[in-house]
Amino acid sequence: GENVEQHPSTLSVQEGDSAVIKCTYSDSASNYFPWYKQELGKGPQLIIDIRSNVGEKKDQRIAVTLNKTAKHFSLHITETQPEDSAVYFCAASGVTGGGNKLTFGTGTQLKVEL
């Protein structure tokens, strides 16, 4: 089955700096890659997603890049703000006979310091 690895596990940046979180996946059949932000005591909130027919997608301060050959995708947050502090999860999926199962990475605790 699919395996998603995520790095780093913790990331501390100064307000205004950029943050980059990287993920790799194992199943070449995966074709959908969402990123979720989870704040303490809440469910994961979708922040951006990308499908395998696109190499890059941007939404204001957030961007995601995908390298299908390397099976690698990354989240980029620019001009970080204190409210960006949370745990971020990458995930991968592909619709198969087993439904659209999202396989998550282990999460990155992002801390934006003033």
Contact residues for other proteins (CB under 8 A)?
4, 6, 32, 34, 36, 42-46, 49, 89, 91, 95, 98-107
Cis omega (within 30 of 0) for bond into 8 = yes
- Measured distance between the N- and C-terminal CA atoms of the chain, rounded to whole angstroms: 41
**Residue of 107, 105, 109, 112 lying closest to 5 (CA atoms):** 105
User: Are 24 and 72 in contact, with CB atoms under 8 Å apart?
Assistant: yes
Residue 84, SS3 per DSSP:
helix
In the complex, least distance from residue 46 CB atom to other proteins, rounded to whole angstroms: 6
Q: Which is nearer to other proteins, 69 or 100 (CB)?
A: 100
Based on CB atoms, which residue is closest to other proteins, 77 or 88? 88
Our CB check for other proteins shows the closer of 43 and 70 to be 43
Query: Shortest distance, CB of residue 79 to other proteins, whole angstroms?
Result: 25
